Amino acid sequence: MSLIQLPPREESVPAPKITAQTLLDRKQAHQPITALTAYDYSTARLVDQAGIDMVLVGDSLGMAVLGYDSTLPVTMEEMLHHTRAVRRAVRHALLVADMPFGSYHSSTGEAIANATRFIKDAGAEAVKIEGGRNRAALVSTLTQSEIAVVGHIGLTPQSVHRIGYRVQGKSAAAIDDLIADAQALEAAGAIAIVLECIPREAGGLITAALAIPTIGIGAGPECDGQILVFHDLVNLTGATPAKFVRRYADASALITEAIQHYASDVRGGTFPADAESYHLPREASSELLAREPLKRSRR
């Protein structure tokens, strides 16, 4: 029995299902790829219905929704739990899940077993792993095991204790290294590569060197697509945004105002109103009113 519950395909779904081939076609046709993170059913529904091409259940959920101060503590069980929730909403986009820190580092067997759980138990269509040439053999093994893999190079947050949260690829030699990483991932079978926090020029050179699409986050407009963290896009983080973030809405202000308004209505006795209350049917109401006041008040 399948553990994956898919919602019925709605008539309103605007476009055909996005696959790895669609992303490749988009690159070839120079049509930018849109991608966003989502970590729960309700936001994933909004993102998917808006026609975003790729939904990533990123391990950034560690900070965005679980309150950790990095992605490092995020566990397989947490990632699977959120991926299943997102799966129940996503019908159109390609669904990619991040493999968390430690889930693909110790042995190839464990990496395959963990990646398989994302596909088989949680309904992801691809997994994302961080690293370049050092992960090429693993990407190749996963690909041969029928698991689609998205690479991730540049600023790789799981390497924070080694490289920090710093822009990568800031010299010609560093860009050559990134190109070699990207080409190794492509040769190993990766379906796309996320480029994070690198100079625009590096993003352009890597994109030009590959047949597979690049999805940039802080990697400039020459990438084949762009991804942002949903919570950054709508300002739900409370943190100072990185340079590459563009805020398209201020959900923090909107939600805070709604909460304050609600609290003030409760305190002022104006919520709930009569129209927001349930009422007895007429006969039951008459019966209740006919009772003696003492009996009524005891009930």
> Which is the catalytic residue, given 196, 201, 257, 276?
196
Least distance in Å: CB of 231 to ligand KIV?
A: 9
In whole angstroms, the minimum distance from the beta carbon of 208 to ligand KIV comes to 21
- For ligand KIV, which is the closer residue by CB, 35 or 276? 35
Complex with ligand KIV: residue 182 or 229, whichever CB lies closer: 229
Determine the distance from the C-alpha atom of residue 152 to the mean position of all C-alpha atoms in its chain, rounded to a whole number: 14
Contact positions vs ligand KIV (CB under 6 A): 37, 56, 58-60, 98, 152, 194, 196, 217, 227, 229
* Complex with ligand KIV: residue 96 or 266, whichever CB lies closer: 96
The pair of three-digit structure tokens given for residue 216, joined into one six-digit string = 């940039």
Known catalytic residue at 292: no
In the complex, least distance from residue 156 CB atom to ligand KIV, rounded to whole angstroms:
9
Name residue 217's beta-bridge partners. 196
Name the residue number minimizing CB distance to ligand KIV: 58
Nearer of residues 54 and 175 to ligand KIV, judged by Cβ: 54
* Nearer to ligand KIV (CB atom), residue 35 or residue 299: 35
3-state helix, strand, coil in the chain (%, to 5): 45, 10, 45
H/E element, 293: helix 293-298
Minimum separation from the CB atom of position 93 to ligand KIV (A) = 14
How many angstroms separate the CA atoms of 224 and 93, rounded? 16
Whole-number minimum distance, CB 230 to ligand KIV, in Å?
Answer: 9
β-partners of residue 95 are 55
47 burial class (0-12, 13-18, 19+ CB within 10 angstroms)?
Answer: buried
DSSP 135: G
Q: Do residues 242 and 167 touch, judged by C-beta distance below 8 A?
A: no
User: Around Cβ 63, how many Cβ atoms within 10 Å?
Assistant: 19
Catalytic residues, by residue number, are: 196
